[in-house]
Amino acid sequence: MSIPLEVQPIAKKHKQIGVAVIWDRDRHKILIDQRLPQGDFAGYWEFPGGKLEEGEDAIACIRREIKEELGIDIEVGAQLIAVSHEYEKFIVSLIVHHCYHISGEPQTLECAQIRWIEPSELANYQFPEANYQIVEALNKI
C-alpha cells in the first residue's frame, strides 16, 4: 500500500560543504567573513567555503571556493573536523580543513566583510549553529 502524497515525509536536502580555517602567515590569526545581508544566515559570520561540485573532493572544493570568494591562493592542509548538522530546512556536512594563506589580499567578492581574528575571539561573533563544534575544536588547539 502506498502512502498518500500529502503525508509522505519530505527528505531534506543534504549539502556537503568544504570549509576553510585560513591561518595568516604568522599562524596566530584566522580569517572569518560575514555573510551578505540577504539569503540563508544573512549577516552571520562563517568560515569561507561552499558546496562540493560533482566529482570534487573537499580539498579541491576549498581551494576553488577561496579563490572565488576571497581572490586568494591558499595551501589546504589537514582536516580539523567534519560536522553534520540538521537545520530546519536542510542538513549540512561541513568538512573543515586548516588552510594557510599563500598570496593575495583577501577581497569581499561574495561576503559583507572579512576579519582576521585570534581563535579566542570567536566567541564574540555569531556563527550558524553547526559551527559551535568547529569553534570548540579550534579553542582546544
Interacting residues with ligand 8DG (CB under 6 A): 15, 17, 19, 40-41, 46-51, 92, 94, 128, 130-131
Annotated binding-site residue? 35: yes
Residue nearer to Mg ion on the CB measure, 1 or 76: 76
128 interface partner picked from ligand 8DG, Mg ion, none, CB below 5 to 8 A per type: ligand 8DG
Q: Which of 20, 30, 34, 50: binder of Mg ion (CB under 5 A)?
A: 50
Instruction: State how far the Cα of 33 lies from the Cα of 112, in Å rounded to an integer.
Output: 7
**Count of alpha carbons within 13 angstroms of residue 3, beta-carbon side:** 6
Closest CA to 29 of 132, 137, 119: 119
12 interface partner picked from ligand 8DG, Mg ion, none, CB below 5 to 8 A per type: none
Instruction: State how far the Cα of 84 lies from the Cα of 25, in Å rounded to an integer.
Output: 30
**DSSP SS3 for 87:** coil
Instruction: State how far the Cα of 139 lies from the Cα of 127, in Å rounded to an integer.
Output: 15
Return the bridge partners of 74, or none.
Answer: 101
In the complex, the smallest distance separating the C-beta of residue 35 from Mg ion, rounded to whole angstroms, is: 8
Annotated binding-site residue? 4: no
In the complex, the smallest distance separating the C-beta of residue 34 from ligand 8DG, rounded to whole angstroms, is: 11
Report the site for Mg ion in 106-135 (rule: CB under 5 A). none
